[in-house]
Structure 1
């Protein structure tokens, strides 16, 4: 069960589909529902076919990451099963997302997005969508 982590990044994927724009209703419903309603994704000509990204769609596959848990609990089942500690999981996340950030920084200009910034948001972040509304402040 020693699967390696493979960082994969798609550049331009965010341009494939859009959502209907009804800002007042969506701003009102997002803190309540956790997503903006109405949520009606659409592509070209308001049909369910993707838009063509301005710079194309590029998928970048990084080098596989060999990772070994240092604090894993080994369960005596057949085959033996390692249960990673919270510290191991946090370390794996850091290594993986550092690789994603590095790939983004390396290829963003080549892919036609030099002005873009990658924002990685985790569940505990104040920027996480499920936390918006509860912790975000209204901007003037």
Structure 2
């Protein structure tokens, strides 16, 4: 969709309707900060019938394990990234799964700021409830007086998508502590979320760490800001090759909240302590539910 939007914008610039592109650039300039200020969600877009079929294709399920009091703000850590992040989109950017299970809470899925520079595409993703993953954006969501907001952050980020092979349980999280600091500064309760089946949607070209392909992918990620996994799955009328994800069930399990007391100036020790607790709760959530979704008893999460 992003590529199509960019292509359409280029056609406008080069064609007879170039003035429409100029007007849009003016709008882009005036509206530049919106993705960091809560976005511009549309209940109509989030309720499109196509999302129902999107969720049913895999299918995607949202599993509730604990109540989330709407009088608080929450920071939900989503794992793993996968290639498509289908569980995060299907559960937090379309209605009614989340609002039925957690009434009174408004989810905001934080994604890379670069996507909000894509003409037209930015309007579409904001209407679905996506906002920037910048510090300013997360602060804006978690600053909501009276609670009721839920920041959803894919903790492993683009780097983790390079590990998104079927059966992989490797999470890039050991050095990811920015979300912990944000939770402490705003007193937002932390909630671990694990999406079983997220890594089963695509196959990736083998790229073990240290290989030439992995080195190239990591260098490109540092330059461009996002990763380029070489993935494939099925086609429309055949199952041997294509870019359509496999029909594999996704079960996104929302764990119990970790109460966080507001601390405007947390020390490194306090951040590390809460980070360790979060890892402990995430691992416990995975261990308690893995047998329900076909993961062998001897397999566990690997933190990197």
For normalisation by structure 1, the TM-score amounts to 0.62
Question: Which segments of 5 or more consecutive residues in structure 1 lack a partner in the other structure?
Answer: 73-81, 122-140
1:51 aligned residue (246, 250, 255):
246
Does the CA-based 8 Å contact 1:29-1:35 persist in structure 2?
no
Q: What is the aligned residue count?
A: 106
Query: Structure 1 residues 11 and 35 mapped into 2: Cα distance closer, same or farther (>3 Å)?
Result: farther
Question: Which segments of 5 or more consecutive residues in structure 2 lack a partner in the other structure?
Answer: 1-185, 221-227, 236-240
Task: Report what 1:63 is aligned to.
Answer: 256
Task: Report what 1:113 is aligned to.
Answer: 295
Superposed CA offset, 1:13-57 (max 9, x none): 111122235x69x82232465379x8422222333321123xx21
Quote how far apart the aligned CAs of 1:91 are. Answer: 1.1
The alignment status of 1:40 with 2:223, answered yes or no, reads no
Of structures 1 and 2, the one with the larger relative CO (CA 8 A, separation 6+) is 1
Map 1:1-140 to 2 at 5 A: 1-21=186-206, 27-31=211-215, 33-34=217-218, 39-45=229-235, 46-53=241-248, 56-68=249-261, 72=263, 82-114=264-296, 115-121=298-304
Which consecutive segments of 4 or more residues in structure 1 shift more than 4 A? none
Task: Report what 1:133 is aligned to.
Answer: none
Does the CA-based 8 Å contact 2:217-2:229 persist in structure 1?
no
Quote how far apart the aligned CAs of 1:61 are. Answer: 0.5
Q: CA RMSD for the aligned pairs?
A: 2.9
Structure with higher helix content? 2
For normalisation by structure 2, the TM-score amounts to 0.31
